[in-house]
Structure 1
């Protein structure tokens, strides 16, 4: 990840990488982990949940 990159951008990339590795992973758990790892705000967490809702799980 690039130095100086916004934590939310880092979190989105981190989550997308995890979903690429395992598309069936628990998405809310990923948001919680990303929130802790990247020190996100509640508003950032809400954005991530909406971001994931826009990309449904594969069947």
Structure 2
């Protein structure tokens, strides 16, 4: 049986809830949450995995998670 996803740590929990309320999540909103809730890099990476990489997101930055090739 799968357990519900509950992040550890008060700041991460608050950031997770805030992002869930924001609507479509982007790399920029995850970065904003990281700054707003003073998250460490590990917690920011957790949010990126949950909201951007797993669920998919429209990107508001040039980074797409893939390397660009010239040509």
* TM-score using structure 2 length: 0.60
1:12 matched to 2:7: no
Unaligned runs of 5+ in 2: 1-8, 59-71
How do residues 1-59 of structure 1 correspond to structure 2 at under 5 angstroms?
Answer: 6-19=10-23, 23=24, 27-52=26-51, 53-57=53-57
Q: Which has the higher helix share?
A: 1
Q: What's the RMSD between the two structures over aligned residues?
A: 1.9
1:9-53 deviation per Cα after TM superposition (whole angstroms, max 9, x unaligned)? 10011011002xxx2x5x110111101110000000100000012
Structure 1 moving runs of 4+ over 3 Å: none
Gaps of 5+ in 1: none
CA apart distance, 1:57 = 4.0
* TM norm structure 1: 0.71
Q: Which has the higher contact order (CA 8 A, sep 6+)?
A: 1
- In our comparison, the structure showing a higher alpha carbon Rg is 2
